[in-house]
């Protein structure tokens, strides 16, 4: 007689998968600490996720150790794992965009991409005007997470911030139609009021969509420069 897995077991396994999605590649020990699980429990869930093709192991040698030390074993989400997190409409989006491109051309795809992010702009622009500049990236990350992008924000060592999206519901469509990523990047710059640069995308095979957000002072300088140029045009200088 087949054994029915308790719902609590399935729920915990889903939490393990979600953590790997949002923070991966990640070590088993880190998962246990975050979830309060024993090493044996973590191992059990990892084995099940590996068997289902939801995650994959990765070996990383510690920095600064050439030929010494045991390589660290980390776990990362697979394409199949990402698909389990609400990717059902990705294929439909791709089909719709192909139809649009064939009937109306690539410019129509670009216009559509901008229209898709316009709702995010409408919702967040009033909020961003009331949020201190150093908190805007965090607010944007929270808004993206609410829409299923599993986003996080951290300070970049080189200055500024790093915005990471660990999940992309339209990754396959974006791989075929980069206008989706381009429109999103433009929207980020507009919302944050400072230059941004897309460093990596899930659509191009990277594990995470990573955007570097320039220090706010650069955005303020650019804004001041733009204002001065506009003022000069108005005064005829």
Where does 10-62+71-83 sit in CATH, by number? 1.10.10.10
Nearest to 137 by CA among 207, 194, 201: 194
* pTM of this structure: 0.59
| Domain boundaries of the chain, sorted by first residue | 10-62+71-83, 90-225
Q: What is the second-level CATH architecture of the domain 90-225? A: 2-Layer Sandwich (3.30)
b/e map 159-176, b = 16+ CB within 10 Å: ebbbbbbbbbbbbbbbbb
Q: What is the residue-level pLDDT of the chain in tens, covering all 237 positions? A: 444 456 678 888 888 998 898 887 899 999 999 999 999 999 999 999 999 999 999 887 665 555 556 677 899 999 888 777 655 457 778 889 999 999 999 999 999 999 989 988 998 999 999 999 989 999 999 999 888 788 999 998 888 999 999 988 888 899 999 999 999 999 999 999 999 999 999 988 888 999 999 987 555 544 433 433 443 344 444
Residues across the chain: 237
């Amino acid at each position: 007689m087949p054994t029915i897995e308790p719902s609590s077991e399935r729920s915990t396994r889903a939490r393990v998968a979600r953590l790997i999605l949002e923070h991966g590649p990640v070590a088993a020990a880190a998962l246990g600490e975050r979830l309060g699980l024993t090493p044996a429990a973590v191992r059990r869930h990892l084995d099940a996720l590996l068997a289902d093709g939801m995650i994959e192991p990765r070996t990383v040698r510690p920095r600064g150790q050439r030929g010494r030390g045991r390589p660290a074993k980390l776990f990362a989400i697979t394409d199949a794992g990402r698909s389990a997190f609400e990717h059902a409409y990705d294929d439909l989006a791709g089909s719709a965009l192909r139809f649009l491109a064939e009937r109306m051309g690539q410019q129509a795809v670009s216009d559509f991409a901008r229209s898709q992010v316009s709702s995010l702009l409408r919702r967040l622009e009033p909020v961003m005007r009331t949020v201190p500049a150093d908190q805007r990236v965090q607010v944007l990350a929270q808004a993206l997470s609410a829409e299923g992008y599993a986003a996080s924000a951290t300070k970049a060592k080189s200055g500024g911030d790093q915005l990471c999206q660990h999940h992309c519901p339209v990754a396959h469509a974006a791989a075929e139609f980069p206008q989706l990523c381009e429109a999103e990047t433009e929207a980020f710059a507009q919302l944050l009021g400072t230059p941004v640069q897309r460093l990596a995308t899930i659509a191009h095979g990277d594990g995470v969509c990573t955007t570097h957000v320039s220090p706010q002072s650069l955005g303020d300088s650019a804004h001041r420069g733009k204002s001065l140029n506009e003022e000069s045009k108005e005064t005829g200088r």
